[in-house]
Chain A
Amino acid sequence: MINGTKIKVEHLNLHIGKEHILKDINLVIPEKQLTVILGPSGCGKTTLLKSFNRLTDLNPDVKISGHIFNGDEDILHPKTEITQLRKKMGLLSQSPYPLPMSIFDNITYGLKISGRRKKKFLIRRVENYLRQVSLWEEVKDRLKDPASALSIGQQQRLCLARGLAVDPEIILADEPTSALDPVSSKDIEEMFLKLKQRYTIVVVTHILRQARRIADYVIFMYLGEVIEHGPAEQIFEHPQHEMTKAYLKGAYN
């Protein structure tokens, strides 16, 4: 079931000020599978996700130690080229944040900063990526409109397409459906199931049913610790740890 390992976390500890947020995290994230980080609110899921592409750097109070390996590269090493690292990881946040520009420019933004500027190439790419997220038919006549004019579900799909356009290896999604209506949520979930053939996807969620629907591999976290991790059917059918059993029964919700 598990192919290769994409990300390997070793002895990861993270403090914000005096608070110990992530406690000695050790885990692996399998390649080209959909990994779900599951756990109740405030258990450090999002922080763990953001340390993968070092968005945790933005908070000056964060102290981080340990290793996160992407292949042979240590993501947390001070000499890691941060913009290159982030290009390898698309981020989908809780509520969509399209860039303050047109739909077209949102998709081409990542390409342009990588130096791809040929008009023809950009036009083809925009269509390609908008089709991948099934947004093309809805917006093809108004690519010049500001992205903020789209509905929130469309914005989230646009953000996904924008992330794909940078050609990442990994997609990090932080509760990507929490701001969306049920139909848009379903769209996003289905897209993930399609995309996992080509990308490694990590989804943070506290919705148990969503995790059951989409997960190949599950990491269960509680209060900053990884309680249990393993293939989905193993975690859902035969959880080893008492806390996991309790959570699956709905004790913490």
Chain B
Amino acid sequence: MKRKVLQKTEEIFTRFLMVFSTSIIVSALLLIIVSILYKGLPSLSWEMITQIPKGGYYFGKEGGILNAIVGSLYLATGSTILGLIISLPLALYINIHKAKNSKLVNFIRFLLDILWGIPSIVYGAFGFTVMIYFGMRTSLLAGIITVTLFIIPIMVRSMDEVMKTVPKGLLESALSLGSTRSETAYKVVFRQSIPGIVTAVLLAFGRGIGDAAAVLFTAGYTDYIPNALNQPAATLPLAIFFQLSSPIPEVQNRAYAAAVVLTIIILIISVSSRIVSNKFKQRRIK
């Protein structure tokens, strides 16, 4: 009898914990969205997302943040593509080719986990040091390379987790048809993992576009839209940062408008990648 009461209390308590933590997460998300919308929407105008800053923009005069929108898109797209080119072969390599050498594979995974944990400002500082060594100035290219470095571990490890779940029987089937390891990797494992790879790319893109610290010293900041890789580029997180640190309330509100723009970009990317990944999910073998 006593046991039953205890079990029931435990059940109620666990359920309470679940509801409690879920509601904290959901309300935090709602609060963030509501507060940036509340403060940002009134300042968000067509002018703001189609114009670059004019003289005195940061003192409340006319202009927009098109420089930062385009800069951020360039930077995040560039580093996501570059990161994918490096990460995909690495993830396939440690799962297919080197699967036999588990010590090496575990060591690579361990290294990647450490790299994942390093804060992005450290990547920024590292990128800055390298730039000085080569005599480079702040530029889009330097920003792309730095962001690429810090999203590679995220990409590789999340692709890795997906590829680990590829059934062994599928590998054996592909190999039995006479495919080499590389053919198995690129024609079978890659296809099977596409939904997960899309998620990994999205995650990396989101981190890339949202990061301020890695681009602060490397991509720099400018009022103009970069039209070459060696020009500095503005980014949305920095645009938010600079405007928010202004004492003028109007400019501060524009920072929230910029945050709305950033959130919408991430939303579009995540919805469209969901659609792509669902399309490929049908082909997956369970």
A residues 58-98 in Cβ contact with B at 8 Å: 58, 60, 83-84, 86-87, 89-91, 93-95, 97-98
CB-defined contacts of B192 to chain A, threshold 8 Å: 100
Report the separation of the CA atoms of residues A194 and B170 in the bound assembly, to the nearest whole angstrom. 26
Nearest Cβ in chain B — how far from A78, in angstroms? Answer: 14
CB-defined contacts of A162 to chain B, threshold 8 Å: 177
Nearest Cβ in chain A — how far from B240, in angstroms? Answer: 42
Are the C-beta atoms of A94 and B169 separated by less than 8 Å? Answer: yes
A253 at the B interface (CB under 8 A) = no
A114 at the B interface (CB under 8 A) = yes
CB-defined contacts of B187 to chain A, threshold 8 Å: 99, 109, 113
B residues 267-286 in Cβ contact with A at 8 Å: 282-286
A residues 138-164 in Cβ contact with B at 8 Å: 146-149, 159, 162-163
- Given known A87-B178, A109-B177, A113-B183, contact A58–B172 (CB-CB < 8 A): yes
B residues 164-194 in Cβ contact with A at 8 Å: 167-180, 183, 187-188, 191-192
B50 at the A interface (CB under 8 A) = no
Nearest Cβ in chain A — how far from B261, in angstroms? Answer: 37
Q: Which residue from chain B places its CB closest to the CB of A149 in the assembled complex?
A: B282
Report the separation of the CA atoms of residues A58 and B286 in the bound assembly, to the nearest whole angstrom. 21
Q: Which residue from chain B places its CB closest to the CB of A84 in the assembled complex?
A: B178
B227 at the A interface (CB under 8 A) = no
Are the C-beta atoms of B191 and A55 separated by less than 8 Å? Answer: no
Are the C-beta atoms of A60 and B100 separated by less than 8 Å? Answer: yes
Report the separation of the CA atoms of residues A102 and B177 in the bound assembly, to the nearest whole angstrom. 16
B102 at the A interface (CB under 8 A) = yes
Nearest Cβ in chain B — how far from A60, in angstroms? Answer: 4
Nearest Cβ in chain A — how far from B169, in angstroms? Answer: 4
Report the separation of the CA atoms of residues A92 and B38 in the bound assembly, to the nearest whole angstrom. 61
Interface bracket on A: 35 or more
CB-defined contacts of A205 to chain B, threshold 8 Å: none
Are the C-beta atoms of A89 and B173 separated by less than 8 Å? Answer: no
Nearest Cβ in chain B — how far from A158, in angstroms? Answer: 11
- Given known A100-B285, A148-B282, contact A83–B172 (CB-CB < 8 A): no
Are the C-beta atoms of B102 and A86 separated by less than 8 Å? Answer: no
Interface bracket on B: 20 to 34
Report the separation of the CA atoms of residues A102 and B280 in the bound assembly, to the nearest whole angstrom. 12
Contact of A113 among B170, B178, B286 (CB under 8 A): B178
Are the C-beta atoms of B177 and A163 separated by less than 8 Å? Answer: yes
**Which of B100, B168, B173, B188 has most A Cβ within 10 Å?**
B173
CB-defined contacts of A159 to chain B, threshold 8 Å: 173
Report the separation of the CA atoms of residues A83 and B284 in the bound assembly, to the nearest whole angstrom. 25
Report the separation of the CA atoms of residues A189 and B173 in the bound assembly, to the nearest whole angstrom. 20
B21 at the A interface (CB under 8 A) = no
Nearest Cβ in chain B — how far from A88, in angstroms? Answer: 8
CB-defined contacts of A101 to chain B, threshold 8 Å: 191, 283
Nearest Cβ in chain B — how far from A18, in angstroms? Answer: 17
Are the C-beta atoms of B188 and A100 separated by less than 8 Å? Answer: yes
B101 at the A interface (CB under 8 A) = yes
Report the separation of the CA atoms of residues A146 and B170 in the bound assembly, to the nearest whole angstrom. 15
- Given known A99-B188, A99-B285, A100-B284, contact A113–B179 (CB-CB < 8 A): yes
B99 at the A interface (CB under 8 A) = yes
When each residue 232-248 of chain A gets 1 if its CB lies under 8 Å from chain B and 0 otherwise, what string results?
00000000000000000
A48 at the B interface (CB under 8 A) = no
Nearest Cβ in chain A — how far from B199, in angstroms? Answer: 16
CB-defined contacts of B175 to chain A, threshold 8 Å: 55, 58, 86
A110 at the B interface (CB under 8 A) = yes
Contact of B99 among A58, A114, A147, A166 (CB under 8 A): A58
Nearest Cβ in chain A — how far from B39, in angstroms? Answer: 47
The 16 sampled A-B contact pairs (Cβ below 8 Å) are A50-B172, A55-B175, A55-B176, A58-B172, A84-B178, A87-B177, A94-B169, A99-B188, A100-B283, A100-B285, A109-B177, A109-B187, A146-B283, A148-B283, A166-B177, A166-B178
Q: Which residues of B contact A (CB under 8 A)?
A: 99-102, 167-180, 183, 187-188, 191-192, 282-286
Q: Which residues of A contact B (CB under 8 A)?
A: 50, 53, 55, 57-58, 60, 83-84, 86-87, 89-91, 93-95, 97-102, 109-110, 113-114, 146-149, 159, 162-163, 166, 172
Q: Which 9 A-B pairs have the closest CB atoms?
A: A87-B178, A91-B176, A60-B100, A146-B283, A97-B169, A110-B177, A97-B173, A100-B192, A100-B191
